[in-house]
Structure 1
Amino acid sequence: MRSDPLSRRAALALGAALALASALPASAQTAPMRIGIIGAGNIGGTIGGLWVKAGYEVMLSSRHPEELKGLVEGLGSKARAGTPAEAIAFGEVVLVAVPYKAYPQLAQDYAGAWKGKVVIDAGNATQARDGEVYAEVQAGGIAAVSAKYLSGARVVRAFNAANYKVFARNAHREGARMAIPIAGDDAQALAVAGRLVSDAGFDPVVVGPLARADSFAMGSPGFGLDLTAPELSARLGVTR
């Protein structure tokens, strides 16, 4: 059983998302979405590359997009480079994969641009790098801080629970797939994120509402686990 029972509304949303996610992968059901990626580093480049291979059009972004020429050419014709503002406008879904200390600047620079977007939040806060924002996370939890800085977005926490090398090594592996925990408050956004996790070569495990994302943030017992979906569900107390 869960240690923190969900509210009736959250439970209904979770049930709807699980029902939708159970049909994954959904590549044949709907046309591939456009994906914008804020940050073209290790996580953004790795996950973006997996989505390009799955047939998605992906825009990786930087304040200096010309510096991404080699990366996007290596990924193929469905990859392109742009500024963060262009990537947010381009993407039906946006992956945020930048150092967590950059989140306040994202909020300032792109206020209003997130509204209604499905935003997959892959950030983690570390004390050495992220300073005051790390202190915010320690005080209020990463789910609440992400929701604050990505105001207006339909936030789903995903692809934050392991190092990028683990994702690169295990995508589409033989046998039982590696599970990726995801959490969010919007059932449709959870389903979209679940499809993208699946198409990247993993099994999505819906942990619950956004508040439960703290259970697999960096430093938590749910971080850094290479488990199958049943194993991860058992470890995190998710009823399947």
Structure 2
Amino acid sequence: MRIGVIGAGWLGGTVGRQWVKAGHEVLFSSRHPERLKNELKDLGSGASVGTAAAAAGFGSVVLIATPYEALAAIGRDHHQALQGKIVLDAANPWPSEPSARDAEKAGVGLFSSGLLPGTRLVRAFSAVDATAVEASAEGRGERLAVPVAGDDRAAVDTAVQLVRDAGCEPLIVGDLAAARSFQRHGPGFRANTNLEKLRRLLGLADPA
């Protein structure tokens, strides 16, 4: 796949790296593109660096791993480029951000979909730490379970594959409303655990 990463910091950079290693083409964007080019030069031709606009228009999938307060501007500034695309939303509102209370009250997944209209939004990689993703991808310790939630089944299926390609184990939790269970203060937030334990934390039944 061709994947744009808006916000190639700690989490976005780590996940994007694993995708390049899995054979995907990834365009990373950051506020410091020159520094990012140096950090990614070992990945070869599968990785490129550009602006947020370039990342939004690059492929059929976009990962957003910016501060949550940036989502409204991303949705506004890149509205046309993001239309119909699968957007993996890994951003989390924090108490200091103006929209945090409204987002958490509404449910972050549903609130994000309002900020990014016309996208096929999936909450993914929002509840795990970059260090845990890296350790899982490198086979250090247990395979990390990543909760996934979305309203578009085909988009969720794509997210599931990309979680696996990042060296982790996906757990489909439900629709965007169900993503509340792994937002901040939810039982799945930063659990950084394996599939069985995460399923138990979220009260999900084992698959038949």
Query: Alignment RMSD, CA only?
Result: 1.6
Q: Higher mean Cα deviation, 161-170 or 85-94? A: 161-170
CA deviation vs aligned residue, 1:57-98 (integer Å, no higher than 9, x gap): 100013553442212313322100011111111121100000
Q: TM-score, normalised by structure 2?
A: 0.92
- Contiguous gaps of at least 5 residues in structure 2: none
- What TM-score do you get using the length of structure 1 for normalisation? 0.81
More divergent stretch after superposition (51-60 vs 137-146): 137-146
Considering Cα pairs closer than 8 Å and 6+ residues apart, tell me whether 1 or 2 has the greater RCO: 1
Alignment partner of 1:84 is 2:52: yes
- 2:137 and 2:184 mapped to 1: Cα distance? 21
- Offset from partner CA, 1:20-41 (integer Å, 9 cap, x none): xxxxxxxxxxxxx111000111
Percent identity of paired positions between Structure 1 and Structure 2: 45
Q: Which residue of 2 aligns with 1:197?
A: 163
Contact 2:9 2:30 in 1 (8 A): no
User: Counterpart of 1:36 in structure 2: which amino acid?
Assistant: G
Task: Tell me the SS of whatever aligns to 1:113.
Answer: helix
Contact 2:129 2:192 in 1 (8 A): no
Q: Name which one, 1 or 2, has greater alpha-carbon Rg.
A: 1
| 1:107-140 deviations in Å (ceiling 9; x for gaps) | 2211232211011110111012x2x111221331
- The equivalent of 1:223 in structure 2 is 189
- 1:125 aligns with 93
| Selected match of 1:101 from 69, 83, 97 | 69
Alignment of 1:1-240 (within 5 A): 33-62=1-30, 65-128=33-96, 130=97, 132-173=98-139, 177-239=143-205, 240=207
The number of residue pairs the alignment matches comes to 206
Measure, in 1, the Cα distance between the counterparts of 2:179 and 2:138: 24
Residues 172 and 200, structure 1, Cα contact 8 Å, conserved in 2: no
Alpha-carbon contact 1:35-1:94 (below 8 Å) kept:
yes
